[in-house]
Amino acid sequence: PPANSSADLSLTVTATATEANGGDSASTVLTHTVIVVGDADAAVIPDTLAATGTEDAAAGGGFPSGSIALDLSEITLGADQDGSEKLSVVISDLPEGARLWMPEEAGQGLIYSGGGRWAVDGDHLADLRILPKGDFSGTFDLDLKVVVTEADGDKWSADRNYTVTVDPDPDAPALHIEAHGLEDQASGIPLDLSTAVGDTDGSESITAITVSGLPDGVVLNGALSGPDADGNYQIDPGDTSGLPLT
């Protein structure tokens, strides 16, 4: 049969018998179908499967915020290109809080198949994105099973890892200022600062606090340093209460 073809073959066989005396002959004709069973070929899979994105990236291009493209389009069918084979990718082992996304126009391109597994249709391997848990940064691996299915049911599959790296992007911290006191108060007016990181996964911390713009003649006491040439004071993030303004 032709290479990579699982199409059945039809052939005709004619058997003829001839008399030695006189040369009379008779024939029998039979038609037979040769059934060719499909054998799924191996898919072409890149040596490295990986994606990189930024923590809580802004939405754009119709994609949801925080999403990272999982381009699987470099996974392709192998030598058999006659249309008898179908490619799909099954994804599992998503980290807690993460979810997969595909645009609505992809239809049934992404289907949940149970047990924490998602099936991606081979026609939509370039449309897939993942949304990590909010404020997450770091690296995680997804489990991929690449499956090639012949029209008559034979399957080939291979397991691979897909590494996703989420680069950190610090959130703006919360800041509260309180300062009030009496005119000519000998101890000065206490300045109280309170801060909180926006990212609560433990990957961020307050590393610097700067106080600036004080009027001439006003001094901030208890600062780590200052004032500098621009009038800036640097505050210890661990010591932000009761700093006297005199």
Residue range 58-88, pLDDT digits in tens: 877 788 888 999 989 999 998 777 778 899 9
- Structural tokens at position 235: 């505050």
User: What is the band of 181 on the pLDDT scale with cuts at 50, 70, 90?
Assistant: confident
Which one has a higher pLDDT value, 221 or 186?
221
What pLDDT does residue 40 have? 84
User: Phi, psi at residue 226, to the nearest 5°?
Assistant: 120, 165
Of the listed ranges 67-71, 134-138, 191-195, 203-207, the least confidently predicted one is 203-207
| 58 close to 31: Cβ distance less than 8 angstroms | no
Average pLDDT for residues 104-112, to the nearest whole number? 89
| E strand intervals along the chain | 9-18, 25-34, 50-54, 68-69, 85-92, 99-101, 110-114, 117-121, 129-131, 138-150, 155-167, 174-179, 189-196, 209-211, 233-235, 243-245
What pLDDT does residue 146 have? 97
| 165 close to 51: Cβ distance less than 8 angstroms | yes
Of the listed ranges 8-22, 126-140, 144-158, 196-210, the least confidently predicted one is 196-210
Largest CA distance in the chain: 143
Q: pLDDT over 70 for what percent of the chain?
A: 97
**Across all residues in the chain, what is the average pLDDT?**
89
What pLDDT does residue 22 have? 82
Most confident of 23-32, 51-60, 86-95, 128-137: 86-95
Residue range 198-238, pLDDT digits in tens: 777 777 889 899 999 999 999 999 998 989 999 999 999 99
Q: pLDDT over 90 for what percent of the chain?
A: 61
52 pLDDT exceeds 80? yes
User: What is the band of 2 on the pLDDT scale with cuts at 50, 70, 90?
Assistant: low
What pLDDT does residue 199 have? 74
What pLDDT does residue 25 have? 92
1 pLDDT exceeds 70? no
